[in-house]
Amino acid sequence: MPIVAADGVDADWMTAALREAGVLGSARVTQLARVPVGNGLVADSYRFALAYDRAEPDAPASVVGKFPAHDPASRRSGSDHLLYLREVSFYRELAASLAIHTPRCLYAEVDPLSDDFTLILADLAPARQGDQLSGCSLADAATAMAQAAALHAPRWGDDSLDGLDWLVTRPATLVPMVDAMLPAIIALFRDRYAGVLEPQYMAMVEKLPRAIVAARNAPGIPRTVIHGDFRLDNILFDVNGGAYPMATLDWQTVGAGPGLTDVAYFLSAALDPDVRRANEQGLVRGYHGELLRRGVTGYGWDACWRDYRRLTLHGILMGVFSALSVARTDRGDALFLKMTRGACAQAADHDSFGFWLAD
């Protein structure tokens, strides 16, 4: 099966892909209609409505396809940071070993030289799309905490993750590049948002390079599979008409690291600071309890809360780095400023920089 662009998906190609996935027998796709879906920043997604020459019980009425971003800057960012390789590899090699709910993958191929890729995923509609700018209810946040534990618990402290080159080894080669780029990115971020982002938060952004290096070298934090961009725009609630409470999408930033990175990042971006402050300890306790229920041992509440408090810097990094990595839009500006503000407020509340920097 060849890798194709969105406009290269025709009835014959889709027929072959669905047959290879085992969801289509002798029926053929006769027509398909494509419409854009989602809020992806470094890839383009479409829903394909399908018609067949005969009825079959497992033939999907629609599927979702994902392809490299049409925008050149966004596509370059996806390639430079191995985002396309990581997402395809996640569905091919890792998703089945985790308990978090993700869409069934029907086709996943990537060209490691060109970074062309095609993903065909089961459609989770009808569902309620998370919206980063609108935030979410406490009930939705609690659901997300339970699903975060379903992601982290199965591979908690699993040294075999080091054998996945695309997950650990190759992304690690990007670390020096990110470290080298970060001061320049921060300077551009400062120029773009000077007078918009609060001065005390901009001062935190300026301290990121030193703090990130210190946090990366900290010993004793258990590693597991992390999403890396675990936020509302990458989440659907009440999927397939309520058959599942939540599904997580967009695995381009999947990696190996501390699970509390995802937890702190989600809460900083999904809840207004006052709501987060009043409820975060209860939400993190819910996450910790679900970890224990799923078999994690040797990780007590005190360690969990400590790691939550000191791993808030990822949210600031994602807000800053993402703002300068994709095509600029009004929604993007609003999104990245909200992410940065939320994570800075969280870091201030917990003196997160104090864990890593002496001054």
CA nearest neighbour of 276 among 246, 236, 304, 308: 308
| Distances 115 to 32, 71, 255 between C-alpha atoms, Å | 26, 14, 18
Q: Are 236 and 283 in contact (CB under 8 A)?
A: no
Instruction: Give me the sign of the Cα torsion angle 258, 259, 260, 263.
Output: positive
Q: Are 307 and 257 in contact (CB under 8 A)?
A: no
For residue 333, give both structure tokens. 């500006």
**Residue 2 preceded by cis peptide, ω within 30:** no
**What is the pLDDT, as a whole number, of residue 72?**
86
What's the pTM? 0.95
**What is the pLDDT, as a whole number, of residue 339?**
96
**What is the pLDDT, as a whole number, of residue 73?**
81
**What is the pLDDT, as a whole number, of residue 198?**
97
- The 10 Å CB-count burial string (b at 16+, else e) for 219-257 is eebbbbbbbbbbbbbbbbbbbeeeeebbbbbbbbbbbbb
Cβ-Cβ contacts under 8 Å for 359 (sequence gap 6 or more)? none
For residue 294, give both structure tokens. 């799923």
**What is the pLDDT, as a whole number, of residue 216?**
84
Q: Are 230 and 262 in contact (CB under 8 A)?
A: yes
**What is the pLDDT, as a whole number, of residue 9?**
97
Q: CA-to-CA distance for 233 and 241, rounded, in angstroms?
A: 19
Q: Are 67 and 43 in contact (CB under 8 A)?
A: yes
CA nearest neighbour of 147 among 232, 255, 43: 232
**What is the pLDDT, as a whole number, of residue 264?**
98
Q: CA-to-CA distance for 119 and 64, rounded, in angstroms?
A: 8
**For 119-163, how does the pLDDT look when each residue is reduced to its tens digit (9 = 90+)?**
999 999 999 999 999 999 999 999 999 999 999 999 999 999 999
Q: CA-to-CA distance for 122 and 180, rounded, in angstroms?
A: 39
Mean pLDDT of the chain: 95
Amino acid 146 reads: A
**What is the pLDDT, as a whole number, of residue 74?**
83
Query: What percent of the chain is modeled with pLDDT above 90?
Result: 86
233 three-class SS: helix
**What is the pLDDT, as a whole number, of residue 78?**
87
Give the residues of the chain that fall short of pLDDT 50. none
Q: Token pair 């300026």 is at which residue?
A: 206
For residue 348, give both structure tokens. 């201030």
Q: CA-to-CA distance for 107 and 53, rounded, in angstroms?
A: 22
For each of the domains in the chain, give its residue range(s) and CATH number, in order of start.
6-122 (3.30.200), 129-356 (3.90.1200)
- The 8-class DSSP code of residue 240 comes to H
